[in-house]
Structure 1
């Protein structure tokens, strides 16, 4: 029996580490699939499969130049992830503020000793 698709959105697509690696490389610009595969140490069919998933969820775009297909990052697809993670910003900011206060208190205590 065929397995159901689990990559219906950007969250699921980037859950796979090799897809995150592909996105990281595409930040620098467009790449042909053969070069991506070689850089990441995977087969060309495997890289193509990952690129297809990323393209289907709107994280990657493809452009044909002659017979070559160049893949590039479409960061607009990351917007839902950015918005979701941004909801935790207040938590992290508060944590860092408390850490800064604690460090300052430690410094002051050591200077008084």
Structure 2
């Protein structure tokens, strides 16, 4: 399949620490332009822009143009899939910890 735009898996998008940091920075602000995001990383604007593009493909980031400037905003909705997946394992480990505690008390 040759698509000009292909949606990226949210898990693939968040696996990279740079992209997780970008998400955190955007979560702490309403929206930010690239020039305000770049100083937080030891890489150039082009590399940060590529990370933002991956986040956008996963629908984790939206952007809008204001003149020549592009401003980025977090879209946290796709992270609910990750939260739901992790919550299963949280319950799993809580049950195991409770069972271990019960065994140790006996």
Question: Which category describes the TM-score, using the shorter chain as reference length?
Answer: 0.7 to 0.9
Corresponding residue SS for 2:78: helix
Distance in 1 separating the partners of 2:98 and 2:45: 47
Q: What residue is the counterpart of 1:32 in the other structure?
A: 33
TM-score relative to the length of structure 2: 0.78
* 1:10 aligned partner: 10
Q: What are the within-5 Å matches in structure 2 for residues 19-58 of structure 1? A: 19-29=19-29, 30-58=31-59
Distance of 1:99 and 1:66 partners within structure 2: 60
What is the deviation of 1:67?
Answer: 2.3
- Number of residue-to-residue matches in the alignment: 98
Greater relative CO (CA pairs within 8 A, separation 6+): 2
CA displacement at 1:94 relative to structure 2:
2.6
Q: CA deviation at 1:31?
A: 1.3
Higher alpha-carbon Rg: 1
Query: 1:76 is matched with which residue?
Result: 77
TM-score, length basis structure 1: 0.73
Find runs of 4+ consecutive structure 1 residues off by over 6 angstroms.
99-102
Q: Which runs of 5+ in 2 are unaligned?
A: 1-6
